[in-house]
Amino acid sequence: MNVLFALATGVMFGMGVFQLLRRDLIKAAMGFYILFAAINLLFLAVGAYDGTAPAYVDASNQPDGQPSDPLVQALILTAIVISFGSYALLLGFIAASSRRFKTVDSNELDHLKG
């Protein structure tokens, strides 16, 4: 399973970078989101052990079997929230750029060039 995950994470990263570098800023934001998804996959893959039961349950109601690794789940939870926040911010910037400069093409946003 690990090899599949490793390959998938790599491919996902590659696709994310590709999408991130596109002219279209909305597509670039999507690329940004793909990168976050790839990171979530990575976290999922590096769990210390495979479990058969959820980690976070009522102690009195603990199902049978090995609980899954809680550490990576905590990390993934944090990552999901942060990625969504950044994504929303990014899309907000794009909306502002569209309103102000009437474009979502990053090549046309060359005001940095003197």
Partner 1 sequence: MDFALVVAIPFVLGISVYFLRDRLRPVQQGLLLTAGMALLFVFLLAQLPRVTEQGALEFVAPWMPQIGLTFALYVDGLGLLFGLLVTGIGSAVMLYTGCYMDDARQAGRFFALMLAFTGSMLAVVLAGNVVVLFIAWELTSVMSFLLIGFKGADDEARKGALQSLMITGGGGLALFVGLLLLGNAAGTMQLGEILSNGEALRQHPWYGAFTGLILLGCFSKSAQFPLHFWLPQAMNAPTPASAFLHSATMVKAGVYLLARLYPALGDTALWNAALSTVGLATMLVGAVLALRQRDLKGILAYTTISQLGALVALIGQPESAGLKAAAVGIVAHALYKGALFLIAGAVDHTTGTRNINELGGIGRQMRGLAAATAIAGLSMAGVPPLLGFVAKETLLETVIQQPLALAVVTVSAALTVTAALRLFWDVFMGAPRTRLPQPEHVPHDRHHPFGDDAFDYSCCHDLPPLMLASPGTLATLSVIAGVALAPLMAPLVSAAIGKQVSLYLFPPSGVNLALVLSGVALALGIGVFAVRRVWLKWSIPVPVSGVQVYDGTIRAVESVGDVLLKMQSGRIRYYLAVILFSVLVLLATAVPNIRIDLPTPAVQLTTAAHVLEAILLVLALAATLASILFERHLVAALALGIAGYAIGGMFLLEPAPDVALVQFLVETLATVLIIIILARTSQDERRRAMARLWGQTRRGSGARPCRVHRHGRGSRHLCPRRREQPAHTGRYRRMAPGECASAGWRQRRGRGDSHRLSRHGHPD
Q: Does 39 bind partner 1 (CB under 8 A)?
A: no
Q: Does 81 bind partner 1 (CB under 8 A)?
A: yes
Q: Nearest CA to 86 among 36, 40, 42?
A: 36
Q: Does 46 bind partner 1 (CB under 8 A)?
A: no
Q: Does 15 bind partner 1 (CB under 8 A)?
A: yes
Phi, psi of 98 (to 5 degrees): -65, -40
Residue bearing tokens 């998938």: 8
The residue among 60 and 113 lying less far from partner 1, judged by its C-beta, is 113
Query: In the complex, what is the shortest distance from the CB of residue 69 to partner 1, in angstroms, rounded to a whole number?
Result: 8
Q: Does 59 bind partner 1 (CB under 8 A)?
A: no
4, 12 Cβ separation under 8 angstroms: no
For 46-92, the DSSP string reads T-SS--SB-SSS-GGGPPSSPBP-HHHHHHHHHHHHHHHHHHHHHHH
Give the interface with partner 1 as residue ranges (CB under 8 A): 1-5, 8, 11-12, 15, 17-30, 33-34, 37, 40-41, 44, 47, 51-56, 68, 73, 76-77, 80-81, 83-84, 87-88, 91, 94-95, 98-99, 102-114
